[in-house]
Structure 1
């Protein structure tokens, strides 16, 4: 299927026609303005209007001595006509001239009209792909429109344009937020107008791309009703048709999609709007590609070439070449495919047009403003060279593919850095995961293990590593700047939480939307000032240095450890094992891996089903052992596993389906890692350790949670192994007390309840009085805690994102700087949890590394109870994620011990005396 996610901004140029709004400014006393309005409102084409206006300006210059605000309006409008004919340089020059005439202090200036000129300049620079400049002019437009109420309609258009800018940059979530904010501050007199309709359209199109469909249909229907009214701008109605087509395409209703795109095309054609016509042809072409109507798609694309010279947008031309290249690739016309992909790349790298076979330099690639389009071009070329090799051979094509995939990865990095919202980052992580699968296929064919490891690492948990880099970068800031940054972040987060907890129909929701957006904007701008102020902070924050295989062996692995990394692709699984003495790269047929892994996890997490269907468990666990682990021939006792998507406990896999005792836990101590890069972010620490223990046991009635009886007793049992500790139980085990004491302890043990699933629902951790949500953990930056044991159900569960893994509570604590956690993957009975946790702390206090301590605890649990205790349900759901380490307990000082013994002695004497008194009384 054609990759069309960078088409999400294609409607952008459609909103711009006739945007100057002098019709609202007519003064009956000004004859010249009446003449100007007659030209603007005439049914003539843009080109005829432009000629008439040029003659009117010459007449005005010959008769009027002053170049006043009337003259400024004329040349402003002439500049807009030049924009309509794609002459941007002349349009910008004329608009800046109008801007200068209306500056405060100039005689006969009209300061309010600055909003119009600022808006048009924002528009021009957007069309030229200078988005920062465009946003700056749009912000100036907004400042004027807020000062002059009669210009509020232009403020609505400015928010729409800012949303379009964000969509072009792939920041679809921010586009939604800007549109929401624009709607919340829109002047009440403009409700139900085309200005509201345009904001709703921009929001809806961004929501379509992010698959947020809850209100899209309703908003599109409202927009269409507004824009279908007599007197509405036909260009805006065309945008509505495109949005309806996108919604129909999302629903797989291709016939309706074609109907709406065709309506938009015919409308733009009737208006002589070349840019809109070109864009609508592209939509029709992409639709035909999606339905495998390749010849018809080529016809649409070939028709696009009629308009490129008139429109003069090389990005759009490059996109068409890319789409055509995809069709030729599907038709196995390799040379044509490569030519079209390379031609598309040469168009967006302007000074590279004479060298179709040459990859642009890194500096050239960095200068391209549309990194989403660049990433697609580079990835398409990489895939085309790979496909060419698979069909015809020629190792030089593999080397070229590798080069293009590496350049595409750099573009992905730059895309991520330019985006502020997590939703947009996650969208692009999902959309670009396929690049890494093709890159790994290339590396496997070349047996290039070093680059294979590079791509595996870049394919996973990059956002988590970015967050840890950001935490590390904070040490390069002054204390005052850190404090201010934290305050701004907390303010924005607090307003966001209030907004999310307020129903849409509540009037306060709109107020909170405005307040949150403003606070978030202030926070993001402040971050940009820090990046400019502290070069070291900037370089550390955006460091993309990747570990080499040698560095893994030297810096991460102990002599008895193997690091195993898996990449789960659409058709194949790639696995790499790195031990101190060997490195392997293998390719595995994916077969039924997804279904088998999910079936095994569903089975093992249900005690009753596992008992009833143990034969099925044996079959599944052995099949996955043969598929995933046996080919690696691991010969060390300790194994670190990094696997994306499913977190599958390898210790429950069976070597022999006929032998229930052949579980891998008997031979290997497993730990799990988000990535090797995550492990490398944390240096080894050899300090003595203290424990914070939390067990609410009971909960406030409003929490609706069952009591966790015995949790306090288990906490007492395990804390005896770490003399230096703090225990919070019952009503003291509050959320605020947890957050208060968390930074003071290197190990944290938490017995409680948690709620999580694999949908969009946010995981939550329960305390006595309230819950701690996953999103709140981002406020816990730079913790010194080294291990957190989450003995609560489902703390390792959350929504799985391709390329990023599972967004669980455990991951949230990892993003707050905690390098290691023990988490649970399913619900287990309390007795087994208490026993396993106590055994773990006992082994840990004896100096065992955490992975060996957990393995030993599991084996002892299995051996100490009835035969049913060997069921993986009871022990396999507890997994160690992150860095393995030794945790030596900190001993209480001699003086503290003496005080403790003295207190115990006094207590005993008191009890004896009390007992004697009772006997005497009797």
Structure 2
């Protein structure tokens, strides 16, 4: 057999000869039939057969042969370089066959091995970087490119360095880091000049032209594109790509006739289905901009037909199904076609006023939203998710505008929900999904996570290039791959886990209205874009959608905001608070004609608490006197009921460090311990950690067993992206550490500390605050603060809030009444909103149902009262009593039963 392979190998240059390949296939069959030893010659035969199909672009067949090669490479004593080669050829075949996830899995295994073949290793890094780029995971692309570049630094391989730099520059460009992208691609050009590969050099100049175009440097852009054309040496597909990008440059500069000419020239040369789809999209966009809407939509349809998704719809009304997004490798091409088509329909309506065009726009935006949901499943990194949330913000803005023009509040509600806190919903879905795992599965996942955490710590202590660095890095990559494989396996074997984790649904408007009816509440959602403020007001019976110019709102908000952070406000400041608060009231609340006393608000980014807005511009008439406000990240999260398995809990855990370790640089909070002890006496079962007992380790040990957790301490956050932290007596608890916890079972967390509701405003997702960190753990209700608060006011309002909670009031009304009590007893100086309006309630408003720690004596009292009442009733029935005596006994019995009901809560 081996001699036959050697004879065949002599003719390997003729691999395209079908007769020769047929001989190779027969040799493979004989090898199997004769049960010959499957050694290196056998593996090389499989590679040879795979290479034939690979060269013919028959990637499915290539995957078949390389899969066999990899299987045998793993089973026998095969040289490490051959195993890596089997993996690489299989991974690259899967990649070109459109199998992104299998390709990533296969290629990732290469880089987790010791680099037996440096060239294969580096190519694996480059291909992986590209795969993550087309999936939209740009940070992962940069990470992989940098790891490959660390390896290439020890080798003389300028062509590999250039490839890796190109992938990194592509990702930097996508992240709009234009200057860094320019530096990186110029470095790639330097390496490519060294290697002498002109075809690759053409690709690098093409990317340089793209970078210069984003910097609005027209001469440099065109010069780079011309060099790219010079070096492409007649490669028709590459030439077509260069012409496409020149056409896009002219489109961006509104030179539409030139753009159309270049795109049509490129279309005549281009054969790649994705590139052809992109060209049709570019042509459609040009026709759209010159007002030829039918021609534009026709070209979008041709673009959709070009993609390998099996779409054949020729009518302008036809759209592919949402799942098509998962069938394509370059998903952004499909999504861009759909978004451009939707926006063209919207502009078509504005010209024609044909409502049918508007309806088509809405249907297409809904399809785009569903596609974005499906894309999000492939993104594991939060920074990537945030990037795409920001990138798709325009989708929701235009969809809401379309809904407004149609007068369709129901559809507007859908897009309002899709525009808010989707990542937070994903985290809660993941939390719920994990609870559907068996104990052994949870232990296995936790074990991998712990190993990853330990390896990350070890790696952080090593310097790049040290002897111990690379083995730890490779082990870390293996464990990360194990975690991905483990979770993918769960999705296939545990339907409940899969369904819960990837639940993208939002509640219907009818569902929300039924909930509002039960709670006698209204729901108000805001969406702010560059020119308009949209307000959706929902009650049990109505849904109204408003649109207002955003300017007046922005002016009033900008004037009011700095007044709320003044430590020593003047009388003029107070008058200005009323003035600007009234202006915001006119913009945000007055048009809604709210008919309920409980109002739930879903904000868009930063929004001052509505409680401090005033119905009068000249005298105090704060809205807190008229409504009990609470806040929700979205209606979806408000209605999502936690089904965590909660063990028996105590009522209350309170923490007040009072004094802090000197390294924390926090001032003493005198009196916070006394306030906490007073609050704890309101509850039947309470634990109080004050002074030196209020340390981080005690909190992490205690916190899982309580229904209410109260912090009287310091916190720190800002709007610049610095990680929010919560302070204990000995240390700070960062938000990231809090998010690694999954055993917090509290129903309510009260953050009586400064700025616990402040954080970086991530466009399209919301404010990343300490409060949000607790929400990510599934805490249904959180009281948080929006700015620095004053100690005495904090103590009074916090104590009053808990008093009304224990009395049985809903959480929103308890906080409202606490503020009203404070205001009603406050001096004019103490009534300034800075002191009382910072506290807001996020989430569920239902009353607390506290534990019955005194149940034994309550039971005795219950039996005694029932027995006494029954005895009295019998005595009354049997004895001869006057009517007045009977009435007196009857009243006593009724009063006793009422008192019993109130006492026990039955």
Corresponding position: 1:291 with 2:280: no
SS at match of 1:847: coil
Query: Counterpart in 1 of 2:242?
Result: 280
Name whichever of 688-697 and 189-198 sits farther off.
189-198
Quick check: 1:33–1:70 contact (8 Å CA) kept in 2? no
Corresponding position: 1:225 with 2:190: yes
Distance 1:708 1:338 in 2: 65
Corresponding position: 1:355 with 2:314: yes
Unpaired segments of 5 or more residues in structure 2?
1-5, 32-38, 859-906
SS at match of 1:574: strand
Corresponding position: 1:152 with 2:113: no
SS at match of 2:618: coil
User: What's the CA shift string for 1:821-843, capped at 9, x where partnerless?
Assistant: 11111112222222221221122
Pick from 793, 797, 807: which aligns with 2:754? 793
Query: Counterpart in 2 of 1:25?
Result: none
Structure 1 position 98, deviation (Å): 12
Distance 2:158 2:812 in 1: 63
1:366 to 1:242, Cα distance in 2 relative to 1, 3 A: closer
1:279 to 1:736, Cα distance in 2 relative to 1, 3 A: farther
Name whichever of 812-821 and 782-791 sits farther off.
782-791
Pick from 504, 512, 520: which aligns with 1:552? 512
SS at match of 2:829: helix
Distance 1:526 1:71 in 2: 32
Distance 2:622 2:134 in 1: 52
Query: Counterpart in 2 of 1:917?
Result: none
Quick check: 1:190–1:196 contact (8 Å CA) kept in 2? no
Structure 1 position 77, deviation (Å): 8.4
1:683 to 1:824, Cα distance in 2 relative to 1, 3 A: same
Structure 1 position 156, deviation (Å): 1.0
User: What's the CA shift string for 1:13-62, capped at 9, x where partnerless?
Assistant: xxxxxxxxxxxxxxxxx9999998xx9xxxxxxxxxxxx87589979999
1:785 to 1:569, Cα distance in 2 relative to 1, 3 A: same
Distance 1:81 1:346 in 2: 29
Pick from 65, 74, 79: which aligns with 1:96? 65
RMSD: 3.8
Query: Counterpart in 1 of 2:669?
Result: 708
User: What's the CA shift string for 1:118-138, capped at 9, x where partnerless?
Assistant: 434433432342213433553
Pick from 575, 580, 601: which aligns with 2:535? 575
SS at match of 1:473: helix
Quick check: 1:405–1:435 contact (8 Å CA) kept in 2? yes
1:70 to 1:861, Cα distance in 2 relative to 1, 3 A: same
SS at match of 1:743: helix
1:705 to 1:350, Cα distance in 2 relative to 1, 3 A: closer
Query: Counterpart in 2 of 1:127?
Result: 96
Query: Counterpart in 2 of 1:209?
Result: 174
Query: Counterpart in 1 of 2:789?
Result: 828
Quick check: 2:248–2:259 contact (8 Å CA) kept in 1? yes
Q: What does 1:303-314 align with in structure 2 at a 5 Å threshold?
A: 303-308=265-270, 312-314=271-273
TM-score (norm: length of structure 2): 0.84
Distance 1:411 1:326 in 2: 21
1:593 to 1:313, Cα distance in 2 relative to 1, 3 A: farther
Corresponding position: 1:695 with 2:656: yes
Name whichever of 244-253 and 435-444 sits farther off.
244-253
1:586 to 1:72, Cα distance in 2 relative to 1, 3 A: same
Quick check: 2:804–2:818 contact (8 Å CA) kept in 1? yes
Quick check: 1:372–1:415 contact (8 Å CA) kept in 2? no
Quick check: 2:47–2:69 contact (8 Å CA) kept in 1? no
Query: Counterpart in 2 of 1:241?
Result: 205
Pick from 413, 427, 445: which aligns with 1:467? 427
Quick check: 2:133–2:171 contact (8 Å CA) kept in 1? yes
User: What's the CA shift string for 1:60-85, capped at 9, x where partnerless?
Assistant: 999xx99998999899789879867x
Pick from 519, 522, 525: which aligns with 1:562? 522
Quick check: 2:178–2:215 contact (8 Å CA) kept in 1? no
Quick check: 1:760–1:799 contact (8 Å CA) kept in 2? yes
Name whichever of 535-544 and 375-384 sits farther off.
375-384
Structure 1 position 689, deviation (Å): 6.3
Pick from 161, 176, 179: which aligns with 2:127? 161
Name whichever of 769-778 and 124-133 sits farther off.
124-133
1:353 to 1:890, Cα distance in 2 relative to 1, 3 A: closer
Q: What does 1:400-419 align with in structure 2 at a 5 Å threshold?
A: 400-419=360-379
Corresponding position: 1:334 with 2:298: no
Distance 1:501 1:246 in 2: 39
Pick from 337, 340, 354: which aligns with 1:380? 340
SS at match of 1:564: strand
SS at match of 1:831: helix
Distance 1:502 1:593 in 2: 52
User: What's the CA shift string for 1:675-714, capped at 9, x where partnerless?
Assistant: 0110111269999961111112222222222222222122
Query: Counterpart in 2 of 1:345?
Result: 304
1:487 to 1:77, Cα distance in 2 relative to 1, 3 A: closer
Quick check: 1:160–1:179 contact (8 Å CA) kept in 2? yes
Query: Counterpart in 1 of 2:873?
Result: none
Name whichever of 511-520 and 761-770 sits farther off.
511-520
Query: Counterpart in 2 of 1:584?
Result: 544
Distance 1:501 1:870 in 2: 53
Unpaired segments of 5 or more residues in structure 1?
1-29, 40-51, 898-922
Distance 2:696 2:505 in 1: 38
Corresponding position: 1:539 with 2:505: no
Distance 1:266 1:342 in 2: 33
Q: What does 1:66-81 align with in structure 2 at a 5 Å threshold?
A: none
Name whichever of 643-652 and 200-209 sits farther off.
200-209
Quick check: 2:524–2:599 contact (8 Å CA) kept in 1? yes
Structure 1 position 530, deviation (Å): 1.2
Structure 1 position 477, deviation (Å): 1.3
